[in-house]
Structure 1
């Protein structure tokens, strides 16, 4: 038997509550059968505990959360009798795990068990041992009567708990707030790159709702998947900057290269298109400076000069000026800013933007025309590689990303529909989070 096409199974050691422990070549695998919301919550709580130990540098493990392949692999290590470290116990306590779930190695934690391990032999009081030996029936009877009375009380007086406000809390904070409420927890994944990973994005029911013990609170945890950088090649410099701003990216630097493309056309980006980036990430643009422009001249310092002085210097250097008038407290006609920066090598005839202070009426450049809308028809059959994998089909246009399908894949599964787009558009097909295919309609 081969688990996930990676781990040859040597022996099945234990199976309990939908979790099976296998001994494989090189270590152990805890394999979770995730079929119900309760199974999913149990696995995500166990995965969160493993990650806490990894963040502390105490554990080495490989985690899989793919559909039908929910497991954790631990490398085989010699076990020792050393006690678990305090930081590990503190990190595991909010998630319902303790020292009896940890197997220790000399250099750290060997593995984390979803069930309590075989307990240590401890000393017991002689009086209690005597009582258990002499009158076990009395103890069992007393315990049964107590449990029966508690059951009757809870049946006729079921406790209710107010649902706390969990949106914006971390996963650990949410677990702590719900730990002693008697409410069950169900977790699903969400995606908001503007917020930290594993932060609660939404909850159901809303805060303040009173629920009886055993009812379920559903949370959406942020996985903060990064947005891919779009293809900016061929766009004008202004359009590329506007596109990056819409996606939450910024222009980190620019460079000019002689090419047949018109001045200011984007030739390439660093990083390349399709690279996942976090919000606020910087992008470097390689721009065309035209072809056959000859030698360059350094752009002089223009900020602080009057409009007439700046235009005179640009005319003397053989450069073109584009003036934007802005209201400011500076004297009218003073140059407030320039682009490119002083000292930038400029080809003859190159353009320079000037921002000049004015009072009263302000002349602004005309707004760029809105992209024309059109309708696209899509008909797609999933390839054989999509079987058993998580599929995500998205449509990119001038307005950003639109998710067309997200779910389990199957060979030949048909996806079709009509979609309204603006400007340039691209389809992207992801398998298990990795880009499989990209095409332009």
Structure 2
């Protein structure tokens, strides 16, 4: 077997706690199986301890922290068996390592183990009887001690005092809880007045005593601002729903007389596009009731022609129907003017655009004038997908609707039309001119 395409394995000496010790050509390799954040944290603490010894000139090693290749290689050195000096122990103490993790060479540290050493496994065949037996006896005694401590902790789980984490950064909170045995859950909060990534709330509160394994919940500040939406032209109820959905509060609502239907939003304060904090208040200015008896225009778009005509007649309004070719079902109302909710005088006209199938027959505006034929063959462009499409044929007689309806990329529009004089096709997407050409 070849580790990391560079270290031929001679034998496997030991494997425990997710770490395998190999004897390779030229030295030893401690190979970490990193699967969880705890495993990665353990490896980086081990790597930091090795780097500290290297900085002091007390150790030589090659460390890899590439994904899937977490290991440390130590060149083979003769072991002295002497106790690590004070400077070695002082350098390792902040990282949780002690003399039981260190194997000393003649002049410096030979290698650092991630768990208490069994020197016999790494020094197989070296030294006298006691040099092989003493470490085993020591580890046996240490194992019995740890077993006793583990049983005691199992039947008497320790309690930890929850620290005060409010105002701390996410990293500071993690470091304070890392060695307590307590779990951590985080949810987002939003307070633009506080720095981002600081703890806004915690549960349970500071000073609470919890047993190991219990969870501390934190609310972490994201401090996001939300722009005020453009609500002009919307009915008041719909505008208030949109504000609530974005996390704003509806503030004062003022009404003024206007040409728009009663309840239509005219403006907001702050104006549309202003970045605001979550929960901020937005005031509305809406159109009030106009003087005189009025009739509210019903919503007709999406109804069949006969249903729309019935509603208009019942409301005392005058329907005006314009048929336009469309891919929509025959007789479906595509648009209406005035719009739904607008208040108009009784007998006012309401213009409906109704879908029909087939080509448009353009009326002859100038009798006796010779007409010519033009051919249309158009595949709607990708920009038309999901947008409202309107195609006009403009000649000396004016503009006529060739197609009006929902857009779809690649939709084929074709036909032959009679025109008078110079003619042009005009393609509109969502009411804006997209393309114009002569047939």
Please give the TM-score of this superposition, normalised by the length of structure 1: 0.34
Structure number with bigger Rg? 2
Please give the TM-score of this superposition, normalised by the length of structure 2: 0.34
